[in-house]
């Protein structure tokens, strides 16, 4: 039995040695690597690499390395990224699809709304009319 286990581990190591790192990082359900998924979710949430790094407690260069699949995340790092992005670790790993947050505006939109609210009321009205005109034009 020990010979079988040893042979099995050698075969697995041989497969891993010949397999591209990014191929190993892909999930069974998508062709998206961990790094690409991390970058996509970070952007959807409206964070920069610097902001995410600060939330996680690392430097921006490491976020970049994770997003380019140069580094493989340790399980603690996956949890920290998931918490910073306010998603589940399963979602970050591509195991489950995003929860129904369709009604929750992105951080990027919320930031812009705060800036709009700080404008004088005349400028707010003008800006909102412009946005309404644009939205009506895009419905066609």
pLDDT at 136: 85
Count the Cβ atoms, other than its own, within 10 Å of residue 35: 22
Q: Are 40 and 32 in contact (CB under 8 A)?
A: yes
In the predicted structure, residue 88 carries a pLDDT above the cut 80: yes
Q: What angle do CA 23, 70, 95 make, to 5 degrees?
A: 50
89 within domain boundaries: yes
Are 59 and 44 members of one domain? Answer: yes
Q: Which residue has the higher pLDDT, 27 or 54?
A: 54
pLDDT band for position 79 (50/70/90)?
A: very high
8 within domain boundaries: no
Closest CA to 38 of 65, 59, 57, 58: 65
Q: What is the pTM of this model?
A: 0.57
pLDDT band for position 18 (50/70/90)?
A: very low
Three-state DSSP at 106 gives coil
Domain count, the chain: 2
Are 32 and 98 members of one domain? Answer: yes
CATH assignment of the domain containing 56: 1.10.260.40
19 within domain boundaries: no
């Amino acid at each position: 039995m020990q010979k079988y286990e040893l042979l099995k581990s050698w075969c697995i190591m041989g497969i891993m040695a010949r397999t591209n790192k990014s191929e190993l990082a892909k999930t069974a359900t998508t062709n998206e690597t961990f790094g690409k998924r991390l970058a996509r979710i970070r952007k959807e949430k409206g964070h920069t690499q610097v902001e995410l790094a600060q939330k996680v407690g690392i430097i921006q260069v490491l976020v970049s390395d994770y997003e380019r699949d140069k580094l493989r995340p340790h399980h603690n790092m996956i949890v920290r990224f998931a918490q910073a992005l306010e998603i589940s670790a399963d979602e970050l790993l591509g195991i489950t699809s995003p929860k129904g947050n369709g009604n929750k505006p992105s951080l990027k939109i919320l930031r812009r709304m705060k800036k709009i609210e700080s404008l004088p009321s005349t400028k707010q009205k003008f800006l909102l009319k412009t946005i309404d005109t644009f939205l009506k034009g895009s419905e066609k």
